[in-house]
Structure 1
Amino acid sequence: MNPIISLTVPAKAEYVDMVRLTLFGFANKLGFSYEEIEDMKVAVTEACTNVVLYAYSNQQPGSIAIRFEVGEEGLSIHIKDEGSSFKYEHSDHEHASLHDKELSEVTAGGLGIFMMHALMDRVEVLTERGTEVILTKLIGRKEEMA
């Protein structure tokens, strides 16, 4: 059975640290390097911050459901809210560049998604009921690429 850790925190900035601490402990136990863990922490912080800032803006305070799931390929981190969804247009962020754009051309929230793609091996965004961001970091990817 693959390990799964779940937690639900209020969608408030002061609780994002709890998510980061849980991620650190779990990813460290799985053998990820310090650099990989730091990359994951930044990506998860971006996803959680998007929930805090945008998902429940005109509603009662909501929550963020986090699920850390180990699969054969690596660690997947699900960040889910039940707030307002947004229209996510998938583009090839993996090969995207900001070099040909002025900062004023980058849309709000666009840098967060861009950073998630830059730091993680796989990023999925589901916007059917609320929003769910699934961030995946593959195990042993560096060795395979060498």
Structure 2
Amino acid sequence: MKAVHLQIPADADYIDLVRNCLLGVATKLGFSYEDIEDMKVAVSEACSNAVLHGVTGDTAGDGVIDVAFESDAEGLAIRVVNYGVPFAHSDARKSASGIQGNHPSELRVGGLGIYLMEALMDEVQMNSDEQRTEVRLMKYRG
């Protein structure tokens, strides 16, 4: 398995670097324009969540997000890791849904990012412990 690793500050201003790196890696691997655009949206959501929920101020490694792009014959796996408080991903997944409602006041807060990641990627896995949260996004070739 070939891998490209990137570490960015846990700051929204750096998410575009992750998207640009993804563009380069996925293009080199021969993914279609549509698949690359889907992956860019999904990785942006994962990184945005890492920025929002991954900084506590009292954890080693705090303030950074580690991203890995791992390719093999099956496809491309993208891992986004933050070092904040544990994330209750199973609870968030239960509330994840598409945009519903006829008026903005009817929209719920939260869950849309998980819904988007799951809609755009072939696999989404989330794991948390007291030290870190990892989101793994998988896009298969063809």
Q: TM-score when scaled to structure 1? A: 0.82
Q: Secondary structure at the match of 1:31?
A: coil
Superimposed CA distance per residue, residues 95-125 of structure 1 (whole angstroms, 9 cap, x where no aligned partner): x6555898746342x0000000010000000
Equivalent-residue separation in structure 2 for 1:98 and 1:25 (angstroms): 31
Moved over 3 A (4+): 96-107
CA apart distance, 1:135:
0.3
User: What is the distance in 1 between the residues matched to 2:120 and 2:75?
Assistant: 14
Correspondence for 1:34: 33
Between the aligned partners of 2:112 and 2:26, the Cα distance in structure 1 is 25
Q: What RMSD in Å do the two structures reach over aligned CA positions?
A: 2.3
* Alignment map for 1:1-146 (pairs within 5 Å): 2-56=1-55, 58-59=56-57, 62-89=63-90, 90-91=93-94, 99=100, 104=106, 106-108=108-110, 110-128=111-129, 129-140=131-142
| Comparing 82-91 and 117-126, the one that deviates more | 82-91
Q: Which residue of 2 aligns with 1:144?
A: none
Question: 2:6 is aligned with what amino acid?
Answer: L
2-side partners of 1:80 and 1:105: how far apart?
29
Q: Tell whether the 8 Å contact from 2:65 to 2:80 is kept in structure 1 after alignment.
A: yes
Which stretches in structure 1 are left out of the alignment for 5+ residues? 141-146
Where 2:31 maps in the other structure, the secondary structure is coil
- Contact residue 101 and residue 107 of structure 2 kept, 8 A: no
- What is the CA-CA distance between 1:50 and the residue it aligns to? 0.8
Aligned to 1:72, the other structure's residue is in SS state: coil
Contact 2:76 2:138 in 1 (8 A): yes
Percentage of pairs with the same residue = 43
Structure 2 stretches lacking a partner, 5+ long: none
Aligned to 2:70, what secondary structure does the other structure show?
strand
Return the letter of the residue paired with 1:114: Y
Change in Cα spacing, 1:15 to 1:98, as seen in structure 2 (3 Å) is closer
Q: 1:24 and 1:99, CA in 2 relative to 1: closer, same or farther beyond 3 A?
A: same
